[in-house]
């Protein structure tokens, strides 16, 4: 754990020796919280209550909670240092941690006391929580997974540092204007961030460009060293991550890029003032903005710089810590278990080699042993377009020494391949770290695989497909390196914080609240699944949650939803493979049925969509427009709007997700089988008692296994059938011409009904479906619509629907991120808890 170098961190709080209940500064009593709140409002915000803004009140509350984390954090740091505890270093370009105030109060166990304290001070507690702006430092599932893992690591008392980038602008804010997505810059830091602590003394230089030199060291040995032509500094910003109900506090350390001070000064002396300013801007650009794509774009130089920047800072920090404790790096791999969250941090392999060899003079073999034993790699995707590669010439220009090292790794690796697959040059070409076809490129997934001692996929199906598709050769070579760790999500945020009504009911029903840390104990709910009284309360809670959401959506969109209708929700990034368009086609089919037969027997539904599209993803943005366009027509058609509503929730985020999951009746998990690695939204919905309509994809497979096939609405082709059908030559035109319903729906879109007569607006989408349909929407359409009819019937029987919902929650325990982290600890990291007493 970190050894704070500045003295403020090692000073004991002045009143440390007094009995706990008297320790006003960090006490947990109502009185202590009130006093601290008033002090913080006055001394930090500089406000009297009479003139305090909403933000002032929020900041005072946040600092009050933060002070209580800090005390525990320092105790954790001291203990981990004394025991030289093995530590997880979770490297991720994204951490989508969500709002912190409510979660930290829960983990400290002060939610009720704080509410009471606030009530007495005449504070609107819920408004304070609502005021917080979340750090949107991620795109979606991958970044949120890192955040759920941080929560579980702290709760399970595993010493951990999460390393990433402190983007000044996170994921854009999404607005919907005239049905289109409009992106607005995310200025999340403008009011200050009370959860982070800048560590100006924890700063590391990071080089770029330049050349490699040969030189003779003082022992007369020939060595190589990198002479970069640009150096920027990475400054640490720390956010404490508290475990639930434990004394452990871990660290999320994010790096901000800055120009070294000497920079401007030198330029100033030689009179190049504007040059100095330019250099400063260039350095600060590195951590300026998160790339808003959930897959890599075309070799963007700045993105490569970001990746190297945070990886280099993080490794230098780990080395500093290990040298401070052990005095040598020989046991580095016993101190740190480095987890690479996708390939974004895979440069860690080359940079750790460089640091050990060039800076600490280790021989290649030892450096390689340490590097490989330290690193572990999680793969998140099978989509070929999402596998990262970098053009060699760009890479060489920015990181010449690293390219040399990668060539060295590759040469040794390919020799191993040649021997293992005796004289099989096809394998050599396919497995090489360098793709030689059409412009040489560096394959980051291969680098990560070669440099790691464990490689894992994120759901059973995905891990199996990995072994037979993108990583097949590697699995043939090193089968023992491959693992599956099915993803999970934290029940603290996604049940307890998001859904207090359900939380109270569960605790009351099963008679304890241990389920919050032992989610498998929810099985006890199975005994009550048939209990009519419970079913009724269960439904009342769902309806109350739906009413809350409906009120909020009403304010946001101006459109109301009937809480008695079936809330059918699809919330996730907008992407063709996730098939929001399949959902829309179904909605249009219902609309058509109602128009043709106003008495058609259709269960009233509210369709709710949420999700951002990458700004450059034309078809995804057009899908958003189509959803809104269909909504505009249906919501204003008095003939059907008593039955159907279509709402688009703008700006889907962790915070907005927490409004959505508790209010869903039906969770749409309808990706083309074989495309969604795991999904985690599926787990959040199910934890809140939504039933899933889904394909056999990602973790859906395991969710269905757990909750029972009878309690899951399954449809569509299997991954195997998808492969067969594609191999046989898939022809969507035949489906368009052969199924009159498909044809009529697509023709209806094409007719201009949803676009004020414009017949061209949606043509890129309809043409794509008819002529290409790469995600086989039309092939699964019939099965989907039929399955939705089963859903319609099921919802009309509240008793059996609620029974299914209760069983979903009772059997969802496997999908706690606590389970996932325990598996990483045992199978991948070989690490044990280091409890900090409360």
Ligand X SMILES: *Cc1c(COP(=O)(O)O)cnc(C)c1O
Binding site for ligand X (CB under 6 A): 140-141, 144, 572-573, 652-654, 657, 679-681, 684
Query: Which distant-in-sequence residues (6+ apart) come within 8 Å of 638 by Cβ?
Result: none
Residue pair 519/488 in contact (Cβ under 8 Å)? The answer is: no
- List 389's β-bridge partners, or say none: 443
- Give me the residue whose beta carbon is nearest to ligand X: 681
Mark whether 680 is an active-site residue: yes
> Which of 406, 296, 311 is closest to 350 using CA atoms?
406
Which H or E run contains 242? strand 230-242
Residue 99: CB minimum distance to ligand X, A: 12
Angle between the N-to-C axes of helices 273-285 and 261-269, in degrees from 0 to 180, rounded to the nearest 10: 160
- DSSP structural state of residue 64: H
Catalytic residue among 684, 803, 814, 819: 684
Nearest distance, CB of residue 679 and ligand X, angstroms: 4
State the nearest-atom distance from the C-beta of 165 to ligand X, in Å.
18
Q: How many residues does the chain have?
A: 838
* Residue 106 in tokens: 């829960």
Q: Do 137 and 151 meet the contact criterion of CB atoms below 8 Å apart? A: no
> Measured between alpha carbons, how far is 655 from 451 in angstroms, rounded to an integer?
37
Q: Which of 87, 239, 680, 692 is catalytic?
A: 680
User: How near is the Cβ of 684 to ligand X at its closest, in Å?
Assistant: 6
Spatial separation of the C-alpha atoms in residues 689 and 712, rounded to whole Å: 12
Q: Is 2 a catalytic residue?
A: no
CA distance 205 to 202: 11
- For ligand X, the closer of residues 259 and 569 by Cβ is 569
b/e for 764-795, b at 16 or more Cβ within 10 A? ebbebbbeebebbbbbbbeebbebbeebbebb
CB of 838 to ligand X, least distance (A): 30
166 in Cβ contact with 255 (< 8 Å): yes
Least distance (Å) from ligand X to the CB of residue 799? Answer: 29
Kindly state the tokens that stand for 733: 């035109």
Phi and psi torsions of 316, nearest 5°: -60, -35
The DSSP-derived string for 72-116 is HHHHHHHHHHHTT--EEEEE-S-B-----HHHHHHHHT-HHHHHH
614 burial via Cβ count (<10 Å: 0-12, 13-18, 19+) = buried
Contact 1, 80 (CB under 8 A): yes
DSSP three-state, residue 376: strand
Q: Which residue has the tokens 């035949």?
A: 734
Q: Residue 816: count other Cβ atoms within 10 Å of its Cβ.
A: 29
Active-site residue, selected from the candidate residues 280, 354, 427, 573:
573
Cβ closest to ligand X, residue 572 vs residue 675: 572
Smallest distance from the beta carbon of 141 to ligand X, in angstroms?
Answer: 4
Residue 578 annotated as catalytic: yes
Q: How far is the CB of 288 from ligand X (least distance, A)?
A: 22
Cβ 678 to ligand X shortest distance, Å: 7
Shortest distance, position 653 Cβ to ligand X, whole Å? 5
Cβ proximity to ligand X, 137 vs 742, nearer residue: 137
- Shortest approach of ligand X to residue 144 CB, angstroms? 4
- Toward ligand X, which CB reaches closer, 515 or 661? 661
Check if the beta carbon of residue 522 is closer than 8 Å to that of residue 815.
no
Cβ proximity to ligand X, 621 vs 675, nearer residue: 675
Measured distance CA(141)–CA(149) in Å, rounded: 12
Between 252 and 454, name the residue whose CB sits nearer to ligand X: 252
CB-CB contact of 610 with 648 (8 Å)? yes
Question: Which is the catalytic residue, given 380, 427, 546, 819?
Answer: 380
Catalytic residue among 30, 376, 578, 704: 578
Q: Could you count the other beta carbons within 10 Å of the beta carbon of residue 454?
A: 20
Decide whether 97 or 510 has the Cβ nearer to ligand X: 97
- Of 565 and 817, which has the nearer Cβ to ligand X? 817
Nearer to ligand X, 353 or 571 (CB): 571
Cα-Cα end-to-end distance for the chain: 18
Tokens of 239: 């956010």
The nearer residue to ligand X, 628 or 700, going by C-beta atoms, is 700
Residue 684 annotated in active site:
yes
Q: Is 557 a catalytic residue?
A: no
Q: Between residues 65 and 654, which has the closer beta carbon with respect to ligand X?
A: 654
Between the alpha carbon of residue 263 and those of residues 228, 233, 310, the distances in Å are 14, 11, 21
Which DSSP string corresponds to 577-636?
Answer: GGTHHHHHHHHHHHHHHHHH-TT-----EEEEEE----TT-HHHHHHHHHHHHHHHHHHT
380 counts as catalytic: yes
Q: Are 305 and 207 in contact (CB under 8 A)?
A: no
Catalytic residues: 380, 572-573, 578, 680, 684
């Amino acid at each position: 754990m970190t050894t704070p170098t500045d003295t403020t961190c090692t000073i004991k709080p002045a009143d440390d020796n007094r009995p706990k209940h008297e320790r006003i500064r960090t006490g947990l009593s109502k009185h202590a919280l009130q006093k601290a709140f008033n002090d913080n409002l006055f001394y930090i915000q500089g406000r009297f209550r009479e003139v305090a803004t909403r933000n002032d009140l929020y900041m005072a509350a946040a600092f009050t909670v933060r002070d209580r984390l800090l005390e525990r954090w320092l105790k954790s740091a001291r203990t981990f240092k004394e025991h030289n505890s093995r530590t997880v270093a979770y490297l991720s370009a994204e951490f989508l941690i969500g709002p912190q105030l409510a979660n930290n109060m829960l983990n400290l166990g002060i939610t009720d006391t704080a509410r009471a304290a606030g009530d007495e001070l005449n504070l609107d507690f819920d408004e304070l929580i609502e005021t917080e702006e979340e750090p949107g430092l991620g795109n979606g599932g991958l970044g949120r997974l890192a955040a759920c893992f941080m929560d579980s690591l702290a709760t399970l008392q595993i010493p951990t540092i999460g390393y990433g980038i402190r983007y000044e602008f996170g994921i854009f804010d999404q607005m919907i204007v005239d049905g289109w997505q409009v992106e607005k810059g995310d200025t999340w830091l403008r009011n200050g961030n009370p959860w982070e602590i800048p560590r100006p003394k924890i700063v590391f230089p990071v080089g770029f460009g330049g050349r490699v030199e040969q030189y003779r060291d003082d022992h007369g040995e020939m060595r190589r060293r990198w002479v970069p032509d640009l150096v920027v500094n990475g400054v640490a910003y720390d956010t404490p991550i508290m475990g639930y109900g434990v004394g452990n506090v871990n660290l999320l350390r994010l790096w901000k890029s800055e120009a070294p001070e000497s920079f401007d000064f030198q330029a100033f002396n030689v009179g190049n003032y504007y040059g100095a300013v330019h250099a400063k801007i260039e350095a600060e650009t590195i951590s300026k903005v998160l790339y808003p794509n959930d897959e890599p774009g075309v070799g963007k130089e700045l993105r490569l710089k970001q990746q190297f920047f945070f990886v280099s800072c993080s490794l230098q920090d780990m080395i500093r810590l290990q040298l401070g404790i052990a005095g040598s790096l020989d046991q580095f791999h016993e101190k740190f278990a480095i987890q690479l969250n996708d390939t974004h941090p895979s440069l860690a392999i080359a940079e750790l080699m460089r640091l050990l060899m060039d800076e600490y003079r280790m021989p290649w073999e030892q450096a390689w042993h340490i590097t490989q034993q330290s690193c572990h790699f999680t793969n998140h995707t099978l989509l070929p377009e999402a596998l990262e590669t970098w053009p060699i010439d760009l890479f060489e220009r920015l990181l010449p020494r690293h390219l040399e090292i990668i060539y060295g790794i590759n040469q040794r690796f390919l020799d191993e391949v040649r021997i293992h697959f005796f004289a099989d040059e096809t394998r050599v070409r396919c497995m090489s770290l360098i793709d030689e076809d059409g412009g040489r490129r560096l394959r980051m997934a291969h680098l990560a695989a070669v440099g790691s001692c464990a490689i894992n996929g994120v759901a059973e199906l995905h891990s199996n497909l990995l072994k037979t598709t993108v990583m097949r050769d590697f699995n043939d070579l090193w089968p023992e390196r491959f693992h599956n760790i099915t993803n999970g999500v934290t029940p603290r945020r996604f049940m307890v914080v998001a859904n207090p009504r359900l939380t109270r009911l569960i605790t009351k029903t099963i008679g304890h609240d241990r389920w919050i840390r032992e989610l498998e104990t929810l099985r006890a709910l199975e005994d009550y699944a048939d209990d009519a009284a419970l079913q009724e309360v269960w439904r009342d809670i769902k309806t109350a949650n739906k009413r809350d959401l409906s009120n909020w959506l009403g304010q946001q969109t101006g459109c109301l939803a009937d809480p008695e209708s079936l809330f059918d929700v699809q919330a996730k990034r907008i992407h063709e493979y996730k098939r929001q368009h399949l959902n829309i086609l179904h909605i249009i089919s219902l609309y058509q049925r109602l128009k043709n037969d106003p008495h058609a027997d259709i269960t009233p539904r509210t369709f709710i969509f949420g999700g951002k599209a990458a700004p450059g993803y034309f078809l995804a943005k057009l899908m958003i427009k189509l959803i809104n366009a269909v909504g505009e027509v249906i919501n204003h058609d008095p003939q059907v709007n008593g039955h159907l509503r279509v709402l688009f929730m703008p700006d889907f985020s962790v915070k907005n997700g927490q409004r959505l999951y508790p209010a869903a009746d039906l969770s749409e998990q309808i990706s083309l089988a074989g495309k969604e690695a795991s999904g985690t939204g599926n787990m959040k919905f199910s934890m809140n008692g939504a039933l899933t309509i889904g394909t056999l994809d990602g973790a859906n497979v395991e969710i269905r296994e757990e909750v029972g096939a009878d309690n899951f609405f399954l449809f569509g082709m299997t991954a195997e059938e998808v492969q067969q059908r594609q191999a046989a030559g898939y022809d969507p035109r035949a489906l368009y011409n052969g199924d009159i319903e498909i044809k009529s729906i697509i023709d209806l879109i094409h007719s201009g009904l949803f676009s004020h007569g414009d017949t061209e607006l949606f043509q890129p989408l309809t043409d794509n479906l008819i002529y290409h349909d790469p995600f086989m929407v039309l092939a699964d359409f019939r099965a989907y619509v039929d399955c939705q009819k089963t859903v319609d019937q099921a919802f009309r029987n509240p008793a059996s629907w609620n029974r299914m919902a209760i069983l979903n929650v009772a059997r969802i325990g496997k999908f706690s991120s606590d389970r996932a982290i325990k598996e990483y600890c045992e199978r991948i990291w070989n690490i044990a808890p280091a409890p900090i007493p409360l």
